[in-house]
Amino acid sequence: MKKVVIVGGGFAGLNCVHHLRRSKQPLDITLVDCRADSQFLPLLPDIIARNIDTNALSLPFEKLSRNDVSVVLKKVVEVKTTENKVICADSTVLAYDYLVLSAGAEPNFYNNEEISRSAQKFYNIDDTLAVLNALHDSRCLNVVVVGGGYTGVELSCALKRYCDEHKLVKRIIIIERDKSVVSSLHPWMRDYVYENLKLMDIKLYTDCAISMLVSDIVSLNNGVTFDRAYVVWVAGVKAVNINFDASIKYAAAKRIVVDEYLQILPGIFCAGDMAGVYHKGSLIRMGIQSALTQGALCADNIVALTQGSALKKYKYFDPGFIVPMANDRACGVVLGFNVRGALAQFLHYMMCIYRSWSPKGRLAIFKAIFKS
């Protein structure tokens, strides 16, 4: 029986497992992840803004463990392509015939050791609960969100809503190195987000960066300083690093460049945030839809290899995106149409319900929609 090792149990990895199972092909499947569960990351800000049950956003990997799927809770550090082996941090060795790398992304501190030690990450449920606890610390006066992209905007709005509802006197501040928040978006969306942040009384500092972070004092390179500050870092992500004994090409953010079949090397596939996929000459953005379709294609192509069939090419399709904001003023593009306000927020939650893993998760999201 052929051995398939899938590294990473996010959207891409889980969908790959699902499609391999559905194929009914006799395969020995092993899912490897350094965490004990898969977390629904798009709704982390809603733990803060709408009190979504954290258990509803978590799928323990032990629920996947059946006769046809083994789960190994270890961190993968190296792939030995010449030996068809995956090496874990504790030196555990996993042999494979086919390999899927879908370990996702992690916060990118851009080699700034001081920031990585001192700033709070925002990339999982534990991080989110740590941020919530910090809001109730009387020593914290300024919550400084570093990064004005999708996540920074969404998190800042969630923090402001929570502080207002709980009568916590905190200033919510966004620091962005670029000249504008959500600078990659269409101008009308940038303007809409900017006006909404102004409406919510969230302070913006653009075209600047942190020059020093010592204890609870933050200094910016424009001369502004905040004391009694709590820093949350959402200024970018990079693909999880795994070493290879072969020559691998990388795109921006350490994403691994794949071919049209999502292969890195024969029999080794990459999907989700780790995968550097180009469409019309540009690197596609990280996103759930891409992760899901790529995970499914990796499964289909593994089945094709076992059957001696032709591989399928990846067909990129982006249905759009929405930037949710906790006062129900969202904006985005869905199937080519501009959407904004409560309708955009509603569509965001409907898509999350559709992508949720369990009835419990869907119910929690449904309740969040109607939280005033």
Q: How confident is the model over 305-332, as pLDDT tens digits?
A: 999 999 999 999 999 999 999 999 999 9
Interhelix angle 125-135/150-165, rounded to 10 degrees, is 40
Which amino acid is residue 264, in one-letter code? I
pLDDT at 182 over 90: yes
pLDDT, residue 338, reads 97
Residues in Cβ contact with 42 at an 8 Å cutoff, skipping those fewer than 6 apart: 288, 352, 355
Q: How confident is the model over 96-114, as pLDDT tens digits?
A: 999 999 999 999 999 898 8
Structure tokens at 150: 């999708």
Mean pLDDT within 230-241: 96
Band the pLDDT of 372: cuts 50, 70, 90.
Answer: low
Helix (H) or strand (E) holding 282: strand 282-283
Task: DSSP for 191-225, please give it.
Answer: HHHHHHHHHTT-EEEES--EEEEETTEEEETTS-E
Mean pLDDT within 5-14: 97
pLDDT at 211 over 80: yes
Helix, strand, coil shares, percent, the chain, to 5: 35, 30, 35
Interhelix angle 342-355/359-369, rounded to 10 degrees, is 170
Band the pLDDT of 278: cuts 50, 70, 90.
Answer: very high
The whole-angstrom separation of Cα 261 and Cα 280 is 16
pLDDT at 355 over 70: yes
pLDDT at 67 over 80: no
Q: What is the mean pLDDT of the chain?
A: 95
Using an 8 Å Cβ cutoff, are 20 and 29 in contact?
A: yes
Q: How confident is the model over 134-172, as pLDDT tens digits?
A: 999 999 999 999 999 999 999 999 999 999 999 999 999
Choose among 76, 152, 101, 71: nearest CA to 273: 101
pLDDT, residue 234, reads 97
Which amino acid is residue 100, in one-letter code? V
pLDDT at 4 over 90: yes
Residue 150, classified by CB atoms within 10 Å of its CB into exposed (0-12), middle (13-18) or buried (19+), is buried
pLDDT, residue 68, reads 80
pLDDT at 238 over 90: yes
Q: In 205-282, where does DSSP find H-type helix? A: none
pLDDT, residue 261, reads 98
**Tell me, what DSSP letter sits at residue 228?**
S
**Tell me, what DSSP letter sits at residue 337?**
E
Long-range residue pairs from 329-333, CB within 8 A, at least 24 positions apart, any chain: 329/192, 329/196, 329/199, 331/189, 331/192, 331/193, 332/189, 333/186
pLDDT, residue 369, reads 77
Q: Other C-beta atoms within 10 Å of 25: how many?
A: 18
Residue 359's SS3 state is helix
Mean pLDDT within 28-56: 95
Mean pLDDT within 295-311: 97
Choose among 1, 60, 57: nearest CA to 31: 60
What domains sit in the chain, N to C, each tagged with a CATH number?
2-34+74-107+237-318 (3.50.50.60), 113-235 (3.50.50.60)
pLDDT, residue 358, reads 82
